[in-house]
Amino acid sequence: MGNRLIGVISDTHGLIRPQAIKALEKCDLILHAGDIGAVHVVEELHKIAPVIAVRGNCDRGICADIFAATEVVETGGHFFYLLHDLNRMDIEPEAAGISTVISGHTHQPCQYRQKSILYLNPGSAGPRRFSLPVSLALLKITGDTLTAEFINLLH
């Protein structure tokens, strides 16, 4: 166990904003929930902290080739299931010992608990779409406690 700060980002679509870099600068780990758009996004994030990323429905070419559709990540004594589209979840998180399911795809920041599982979508950190916010999330692990905070990248 221990205290950890995890950056959660999604739907960058090839754009890595300076505001995102600043918001993530103290993270121990960064999770990217797909629609990366270009490998340079992950390379830039990796300058801050280790990155685990999954491909999204818009990822083509090398992004589709090098990133898996799902990942299970263990850190700080917690297991995270990472995928792009929550509607494509292929496991039962509670039975698998997952504490948090992280997804993207909708471009809308959202968090809720179902049973003992935290579901977290950081929203989109890439190009603005309609009137949706441009955001990411910071997930704080303090022992057994997980808390998420959304960061609006356009003030």
* Cα–Cα–Cα angle for 82, 93, 31, rounded to 5 degrees: 15
pLDDT in tens, 54-90: 999 999 999 999 999 999 999 989 999 999 999 999 9
Confidence band for 2, pLDDT divided at 50, 70 and 90: low
Q: Is residue 133 within 8 Å of 103, Cβ to Cβ?
A: no
Give the C-alpha distances (Å, rounded to integers) separating 73 from 36, 79, 94, 95, 151: 18, 6, 15, 16, 22
Assigned CATH topology for domain 3-152? Purple Acid Phosphatase; chain A, domain 2 (3.60.21)
DSSP state of 88: G
Instruction: Map out the domains of the chain as residue ranges.
Output: 3-152
- pTM to 2 decimals? 0.96
Average pLDDT of the chain is 95
Mean pLDDT of 117-146: 94
